[in-house]
Amino acid sequence: MQINVTSLSELPDAARQLISHAGTSKIFVFYGDMGAGKTTLIKELAAALGVTEAVTSPTFSIVNEYIIPSGKAYHFDFYRLKKQSEALDMGYEEYFYSGNYCFIEWPEKIPDLLPEHYTRVSITALDDNRRQLVVENI
């Protein structure tokens, strides 16, 4: 599936489409250059799931936890990881296999640790306001 976003006002609809397309998958991995809009999209996904608190990038904490009506949602930013074993040390399996939503930025830092099935979102910045999202269920 491909979604073209031409303004920030279209992100809530794009988030709803992503959740619908994922079906029962609750693991989302986000690929895109720095500044492509991964965190901004994850904020909209969290809002669509019912998160009412401020959603921020977990760049320094690695993972943020949010409460949603159906449980929890976890937001990971693995950008600062030097090696995959750091994710092992933080107990990533408890999160990934919890049955809760997991939004993972910089999954290329943990390629061998990704679950067998997930929804892959590739974000390409076309210019300052336009983004192309390519979504596939793996």
How confident is the model over 75-130, as pLDDT tens digits?
Answer: 999 999 999 999 989 899 999 999 999 999 999 999 999 999 999 999 999 988 89
Query: In percent, how much of the chain has pLDDT > 90?
Result: 88
Task: Please tell me the pTM assigned to this model.
Answer: 0.94
Measured distance CA(35)–CA(28) in Å, rounded: 18
Measured distance CA(113)–CA(101) in Å, rounded: 16
Q: HSE (CB half, 13 Å, CA atoms) of 116?
A: 0
Q: Quick check: 56 pLDDT over 90?
A: no
- The secondary structure of residue 62, as a DSSP letter, is S
